[in-house]
Amino acid sequence: MDNYYSNNKSVQILIALLKANNIKKIIASPGSANIEFTGSIENDSFFEIYSSVDERSAAYLACGLAGESGEPVVLSCTGATASRNYFPGLTEAYYRQLPILAVTSTQPIGRADSYSPQFIDRTVQPKDAVKLSVQVGLISSEEDEWCVNTQINKAILELNHNGKGPVHINLTTSNSKDFSVNELPRTRIIKRIGYESEFPEIKAKNVAIYVGSHLPWPDKLTALVESFCEKYNGAVICDHPGNYNGKYKVNAPLLCSQDYYEANCRKADLIIHIGNVSGAEISLFTNEVWRVNPDGIIRDTFKKLTKIFEMSEENFFAYYINGDKEVKTSYYEEWINEVGKLKNRQFNLPFSNTWIASVTIDKLPANSVLYLGVLNSIRNWDYFDLPDNITCYANTGGFGTDGMLSASIGASLYNPNKLYFGVLGDLSFFYDMNVIGNRHVGNNVRFMVINNGRGTEFTNYNNTGSLFGKDVDNYIAAAGHFGNQSPELIKHYAEDLGYKYLSARNKEEYLQKMNDFVDSGCMDKPIIFEVFTHSVDESNAIKIMRSLEQDTKGATKQALKTLLGNKGVSKLKKLVGKR
């Protein structure tokens, strides 16, 4: 029987990516754990393979071969202590900047510390032995396959990133004896583009520029992006912390969060991904994503990354707008038409963070700064348009409950004459409340605390916590803490610290107090505005906003939910998936 490639798909993807990157020189050491790899390549004429019994010698052989040829060299060894013998040669490669890819085959890494024979822990490598070490597991799902592809791409790219050097892949073996696969899978290849690289041509009929959280934009970058959109039929898809206020801006969360409607404009031929972690509910569909950032690191938010441009955003857009252009704006217009349809819908919101955002966001003073708490506040304020002259931030980096008050106060220290607003929930407030007593706090800060008494995120209709009914408050949410919506607790704390305190429990009270909160003419005290809402109203308001439009597919989905409930729909999906 002829042997071809192992049926271990992780091995297949590694081999496919080695070939795609023209990496053909391999020094293999004998062993059992790496048979899936060595047995798969030995009949592939693409590879140039050498054998070395001694792994210490193998690593130095690789140093000599890489140094003389200028090409990457792959090492392959078995389990147990074989890989330990690579360290002297890899250290040499590290300091000489030689591109050596050490592929160490291993049993499943979950066996660590279990006294499994011929297994050692390779999850940590000496700092000056390899530039990068990745763990590659077995594949049993689409998520696994994406992860394996991403990790191997990352490792191969690192061989020549910011100088050459050795890289380590710890490749899990399935101990399979099946070598009947005669064709490698088509797998994604990620390329890094630098200033001196050949830039790929943009052939897409439309381009979505997706902006994560982003510092305020220089005028030059805004102008470059506008020209890019006109040349390539683009639209800038963002939310408030993206801080883009140019001509082709689309505030996309409201449209992208519809439960029963999928607008066709959400399908882009190409996505250009810039910025950092986003807290927005923006889901887009594409077959290709280009990431632009000076760090050159794989950030595969959409799981469709094909190219990383290691450069500034200004240099990227400046390159692509060179030459003649025909102004094309149909894609942007399609987005604006879809978003406009939703904005024109008539809806009656209950008293909630959503309603508060709807009546407040356009009343914020010009040139002020808005900080939003993660999840609930970002979501609700993203539904409505923020004036272009307001800068917005959110702690989406670590994306935790803590620190929002401190971050916004820290920002306010920079310019005592500018107003800094913050909107956050009760849990976030109590998490970080000590900072409002800091002696450096100025009169230019104003915080709105949406006090729903629990952490309403976990009780929303579309959160898994809602399946637990009232029991969600036992340990998933946090009802009953911090005074249980006490009308006095924050009031006394704020006033004793010299803040002006406002409160509201319904729409009428809120509208009466709102003007004081947003008044830019009076800055004699910092302000805390506590607004008491109910979780049921918060959930219902979000449901209203996410149900403004419906297509045939969405109507069917809604009918099934009504008929079967959430659990029934989940069971139906599993049943269909098995067929």
For position 578, what pLDDT does the model report? 46
484 and 565 both lie in a single domain = no
Q: Which of 155, 146, 138 lies closest to 102 in space, CA to CA?
A: 155
Question: If pLDDT is split at 50, 70 and 90, which confidence band does 2 have?
Answer: confident
Whether residue 168 is contained in a domain is answered as yes
54-93 pLDDT per residue, tens: 999 999 999 999 999 999 999 999 998 999 999 999 999 9
Whether residue 4 is contained in a domain is answered as no
181 and 285 both lie in a single domain = no
β-bridge partners, 274: 211
The set of residues, in sequence order, having a beta carbon less than 8 Å from that of 245 and lying 6+ positions away, is 217, 222, 388, 389
**Span 462-466, mean pLDDT?**
94
Q: What share of the chain is helix, strand, coil (3-state, %, to 5)?
A: 40, 15, 45
For position 117, what pLDDT does the model report? 81
**For residues 386 and 363, is the Cβ–Cβ distance under 8 A?**
no
Q: How high is the mean pLDDT of the chain?
A: 94
386 and 531 both lie in a single domain = yes
Give phi and psi for 81, each to the nearest 5: -90, 5
pLDDT over 70 at 292, yes or no: yes
**For residues 32 and 206, is the Cβ–Cβ distance under 8 A?**
no
Question: If pLDDT is split at 50, 70 and 90, which confidence band does 110 have?
Answer: confident
184 and 64 both lie in a single domain = yes
Residues of the chain above pLDDT 70, percent: 96
Q: Are strands 73-77 and 445-451 parallel, antiparallel or unpaired?
A: unpaired
Q: HSE (CB half, 13 Å, CA atoms) of 365?
A: 20
Whether residue 514 is contained in a domain is answered as yes
For position 561, what pLDDT does the model report? 66
Whether residue 196 is contained in a domain is answered as no
Number of domains in the chain: 4
Q: HSE (CB half, 13 Å, CA atoms) of 574?
A: 6
Question: If pLDDT is split at 50, 70 and 90, which confidence band does 551 have?
Answer: confident
Q: Which of 376, 406, 413, 411 lies closest to 392 in space, CA to CA?
A: 411
Whether residue 254 is contained in a domain is answered as yes
Question: If pLDDT is split at 50, 70 and 90, which confidence band does 324 have?
Answer: confident
154 and 289 both lie in a single domain = no
153 and 244 both lie in a single domain = no
**For residues 370 and 390, is the Cβ–Cβ distance under 8 A?**
yes
- DSSP count for the chain of H helices, then E strands: 18, 19
- Residue 558: domain span: 550-577
Whether residue 447 is contained in a domain is answered as yes
Whether residue 193 is contained in a domain is answered as no
For position 63, what pLDDT does the model report? 98
**Span 141-159, mean pLDDT?**
98
Give phi and psi for 334, each to the nearest 5: -65, -45
Which pair of structure tokens corresponds to residue 435? 């900072």
573 and 485 both lie in a single domain = no
Last residue of a domain, one of 308, 343, 378: 343
The set of residues, in sequence order, having a beta carbon less than 8 Å from that of 127 and lying 6+ positions away, is none
Q: Quick count: other Cβ atoms within 10 Å of Cβ 288?
A: 15
Which pair of structure tokens corresponds to residue 418? 């500018």
Q: What is the DSSP string of 187-225?
A: ----EEE-TTSPPPP---S-EEEEE-S-PPPPHHHHHHH
For position 562, what pLDDT does the model report? 61
For position 574, what pLDDT does the model report? 57
230 and 335 both lie in a single domain = yes
414 and 538 both lie in a single domain = yes
338-388 pLDDT per residue, tens: 999 999 998 899 999 999 999 999 999 999 999 999 989 999 999 999 999
Whether residue 3 is contained in a domain is answered as no
Q: Are strands 73-77 and 48-51 parallel, antiparallel or unpaired?
A: unpaired
For position 579, what pLDDT does the model report? 43
Question: If pLDDT is split at 50, 70 and 90, which confidence band does 559 have?
Answer: low
Give phi and psi for 99, each to the nearest 5: -80, 90
DSSP conformational letter for 363 = G
Q: If you search the block for the tokens 């797998």, which residue do you land on?
A: 187
492-537 pLDDT per residue, tens: 999 999 999 999 999 999 999 999 999 999 899 999 999 999 999 9
Which pair of structure tokens corresponds to residue 534? 């109910």
Q: Are strands 270-274 and 289-292 parallel, antiparallel or unpaired?
A: parallel
Give phi and psi for 576, each to the nearest 5: -65, -35
Last residue of a domain, one of 343, 362, 378: 343
pLDDT over 50 at 201, yes or no: yes
pLDDT over 70 at 24, yes or no: yes
Residues 67, 68, 70, CA angle at the centre, nearest 5°? Answer: 65
**For residues 254 and 382, is the Cβ–Cβ distance under 8 A?**
yes
C-alpha to C-alpha distance for 127 and 121, rounded to whole angstroms: 16
Domain containing 528 — which CATH number? 3.40.50.970
Which pair of structure tokens corresponds to residue 261? 């409607």
In terms of C-beta density within 10 A (0-12 exposed, 13-18 middle, 19 or more buried), how is residue 223 classed? middle
247 and 132 both lie in a single domain = no
Domain containing 299 — which CATH number? 3.40.50.1220
DSSP conformational letter for 276 = S
**For residues 490 and 451, is the Cβ–Cβ distance under 8 A?**
yes
571 and 528 both lie in a single domain = no
Which pair of structure tokens corresponds to residue 25? 């020189």
529 and 404 both lie in a single domain = yes
**Span 242-263, mean pLDDT?**
97
399-427 pLDDT per residue, tens: 888 899 999 999 999 999 999 999 999 99
